[in-house]
Structure 1
Amino acid sequence: MSPAQENGRPNPWPRRLGWLVVAAAVFAVAGGVGALVRHNNANKLQIPVGAVGPRGLALPANGSPGVTLTLFEDMRSPETRAFQHTYGAALNRLVDAGLVKIQYREIAGVDRAQGGTGSLHAANALACAQNAKDFLSYRRVLLAHQPAASDDAFGSNAYLIKLAKRVHGLDTDVFRACVDKGDYRVWARTSTDAFVQQYPNQSTPVLELTKGSLDETLVPGQGGQAITPDALVDRVVAVALGRPSASATPSPSPSKAAAKSKKKHKAGADPTATAGASASATP
């Protein structure tokens, strides 16, 4: 007999043990619910502030209504950086003239081709910067510090946050948490999947022009026929003003280009001639 029973008092341990069992069960349920919530959040499509276009996959829409230019880009792609070097000034001229609005689609194509997560993490960080209204400034920083395509430096959130210090006011607790948690990785994957469906045999950069029912591909990705910056400006101005273009012919869609190439091949044309010319003209 226990001392408590000898003194006529009830033994408190059975009751305490019961409460401990109940508490343990409550914590287990709470932990399971928390894990489920975290799993759902990790797979939920979150849209950055101010995102535009179908499913909010484009960032941002700067410029004036009229002609819309959509640039599909990959922060890990050297060709994306080369595109900015070649066409950046021309695009700025068009925006300043009030003829176009430009929107950007972030794609994680290099990750799929070479492995790693740099494209995905950089796209997520850009969406976080968009929330802080610093997308364009941070985009310039990422392109200026782009590593070699074989170097997955952008796969490090710490490095992406370090680069954010180069944009005044961007390196905040909110931005860091957004980058570290990967709030927009699902968004970046969704954008990438949609791009692959639309351009199954192409890689970034791709530049689309749209106005009303008109939809053209001006820069059709790597290996496509290049267009000069002046010709691009001429084509956009022509569409904006509703007049014929004097110096630019819209690039055919990827499917039409492939059919044309196949026809030439059957006719006995050298299949490497066109490829070589395209490669040398690619910016």
Structure 2
Amino acid sequence: MSEKNRDGKRTARERLAAEREKQKSAERRRRTLIVGASVVCVLGLAAVIGVVAANSGKDDSSDKAGPVVAPSGAEGEDALAIPVGKDGARSTLTVWEDFRCPACKAFETAYRPTVHELAESGKLKVEYHLATLIDGNMGGSGSRNAANAAACAQDVGKFPAYHDVLYENQPEETKDEYAENSRLIELAGKVDGLDTPAFRTCVEQGTHNSWVAKSNQAFQNGRFGGTPTVLFNGKNIYQDRSMTPEKLKKMVEEAHQG
């Protein structure tokens, strides 16, 4: 074989190897994007956390922060928790969530019937804390606007129903549909008695935006791994891979019996 032919074959092999490596790199990037955008809602490295902090509470129409107005009935430190259930319950479920977060929707879908049953029976109190993680990670204001709308619903005692409607109609994580107040008001029509002039004004003026920003800051200060973060009587149970709705119900029943 001539030296020229050997050089030609060597060059072809090198080009083929380079192309294969290029394809492998593209596949690795594709898998990373799928995991990052679709599977879990997690905090990234310090740079991403900085973006979350910088974007929290921002409004597309105005960068000016208004007064911190907590929704009616909010409880806990700085009135950042929206309570559902009875105060006399022996068990408390603390949920940190983001209405744009698909993992939060997955948790809601799996646990909602059990949580509703336990809360309505007086055995479990749920404290919802709202975060804007996805706005910070992916841009937009849907997390913030949806949280504000949910707080507006709390003002008139409609938070639980509207909370569920927001998850039932959650857009794809990459589509910031909840940034549109018109969409949030449209969904309020699915809750009896919620779509009122007062609710619309609250949503359109972003009455609770600064409260949402303060809630999100508390989420960051807590150094939680991501949303949802679910605590049962102070213990993080969402990280427990053996946790199921049935196991949660058993834990609540045992605590209720003392």
TM-score w.r.t. the length of structure 2 is 0.71
Q: Given that residues 165 and 171 in structure 1 are in contact (C-alpha distance below 8 angstroms), is that contact kept between their aligned partners in structure 2? A: yes
The CA deviation at 1:73 is 1.1
* Alignment match of 2:93 (pick from 51, 62, 69): 69
Q: Given that residues 83 and 125 in structure 2 are in contact (C-alpha distance below 8 angstroms), is that contact kept between their aligned partners in structure 1? A: no
* Alignment match of 1:164 (pick from 163, 176, 188): 188
- 2:155 match: 131
* Alignment match of 1:146 (pick from 170, 173, 178): 170
Cα distance in 2, alignment partners of residues 105 and 145 from structure 1: 20
- 2:129 match: 105
- 1:238 match: 254
Cα distance in 2, alignment partners of residues 178 and 231 from structure 1: 39
Cα distance in 1, alignment partners of residues 229 and 256 from structure 2: 20
Does structure 1 residue 217 correspond to structure 2 residue 236?
yes
Letter in 2 for 1:55: D
Q: Given that residues 73 and 204 in structure 1 are in contact (C-alpha distance below 8 angstroms), is that contact kept between their aligned partners in structure 2? A: yes
Q: Given that residues 99 and 146 in structure 2 are in contact (C-alpha distance below 8 angstroms), is that contact kept between their aligned partners in structure 1? A: yes
Cα distance in 1, alignment partners of residues 179 and 137 from structure 2: 15
TM-score w.r.t. the length of structure 1 is 0.65
* Alignment match of 1:229 (pick from 223, 236, 245): 245
The CA deviation at 1:96 is 3.5
Deviations 1:104-128 (A, max 9, x none): 1111111111111000000000001
Q: Given that residues 84 and 119 in structure 2 are in contact (C-alpha distance below 8 angstroms), is that contact kept between their aligned partners in structure 1? A: no
The CA deviation at 1:64 is 4.6
Question: Over alpha carbons, which structure has the higher Rg?
Answer: 1
Cα distance in 2, alignment partners of residues 241 and 195 from structure 1: 32
The CA deviation at 1:237 is 2.5
The CA deviation at 1:216 is 1.0
Q: Given that residues 42 and 183 in structure 1 are in contact (C-alpha distance below 8 angstroms), is that contact kept between their aligned partners in structure 2? A: no
Does structure 1 residue 179 correspond to structure 2 residue 195?
no
Letter in 2 for 1:204: T
Secondary structure of the 1:63 match is: coil
Please list every run of 5 or more consecutive structure 2 residues that lacks an aligned counterpart in the other structure.
1-61
